[in-house]
């Protein structure tokens, strides 16, 4: 089981423990829920709101009573997103993601504007995936971020 310096609730800790004891990956759980592995991890970290159906499947697969999951993730639960990391993050994996924005943020902004005009790439109507691309010179992480373009409204 993982030692999280970030603050997790008792239920979240239990989810991580059940996953470790059953030796399941987020991909395994994602197949049960019909969700991408990143999305499942987002539920574990309190960054996404599971449906009642997802809660039931989590309950069965990880053997945690649904009532316990509902007490925390029930209909009135809406995630208070973010706040897991300091800024900038100190963990090297997180920092590299952050550095990509520090260094290439303005270039990416410039290309989005050239291709789409004045607006943004949504972080709400959004999905992400991680793919492992094998390479003899060293495998590569392909991280795809996919968000709807939202043009600025004029009024």
Residues with catalytic function: 96, 99, 122
Q: Is 127 in the site for a second copy (CB under 8 A)?
A: yes
Q: Is 100 in the site for a second copy (CB under 8 A)?
A: yes
Compute the distance between CA of residue 23 and CA of residue 17 in angstroms, rounded to an integer.
10
- Which one of 15, 19, 58, 62 is in contact with a second copy (CB under 8 A)? 19
- Candidate list 18, 32, 59, 147; residue touching a second copy; CB under 8 A: 147
76-89 core/surface letters (b: 16 or more CB in 10 A; e: else):
eeeeeeeeeeeeee
Q: If binding is defined by CB under 8 A, does position 109 make contact with a second copy?
A: yes
Element containing residue 127 per DSSP (H, E): strand 119-133
Distance of CA 82 to the CA centre of its chain: 11
> Is residue 5 involved in binding a second copy (CB under 8 A)?
yes
Contact at 8 Å (CB) between 115 and 151? no
In the complex, the smallest distance separating the C-beta of residue 65 from a second copy, rounded to whole angstroms, is 15
Please identify, using beta-carbon distances, which residue of 60 and 97 lies nearer to a second copy.
Answer: 97
Q: For the segment 40-99, give every residue that binds a second copy (CB under 8 A).
A: 41-42, 44-49, 51, 71-99
152 contacts 118 by C-beta, under 8 angstroms: yes
Please report whether residue 110 would count as binding a second copy according to CB under 8 A.
yes
CB of 105 to a second copy, least distance (A): 5
**CA 9 to the chain's CA centroid:** 17
- Beta carbon of residue 57, minimum distance to a second copy (angstroms, whole number): 14
How many CB atoms neighbour CB 110 within 10 A? 10
CB of 10 to a second copy, least distance (A): 10
């Amino acid at each position: 089981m993982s030692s999280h310096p970030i603050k997790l609730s008792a239920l979240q800790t239990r989810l991580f423990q059940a996953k470790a004891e059953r030796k399941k990956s987020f991909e395994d759980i994602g197949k049960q829920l019909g969700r991408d592995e990143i999305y499942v991890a987002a539920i574990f970290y309190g960054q996404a709101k599971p449906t009642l159906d997802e809660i039931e499947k989590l309950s069965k697969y990880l053997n945690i009573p649904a009532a316990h999951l509902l007490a925390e993730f029930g209909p009135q639960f809406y995630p208070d997103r973010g706040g897991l990391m300091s800024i900038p993050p100190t963990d090297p994996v997180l920092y590299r993601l952050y550095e990509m924005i520090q260094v290439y943020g303005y270039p990416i902004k410039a290309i989005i504007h050239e291709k789409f005009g004045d607006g943004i790439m949504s972080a709400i109507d959004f999905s992400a995936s991680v793919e492992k691309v094998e390479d003899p010179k060293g495998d590569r992480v392909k991280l795809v971020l996919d968000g709807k373009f939202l043009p600025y409204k004029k009024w």
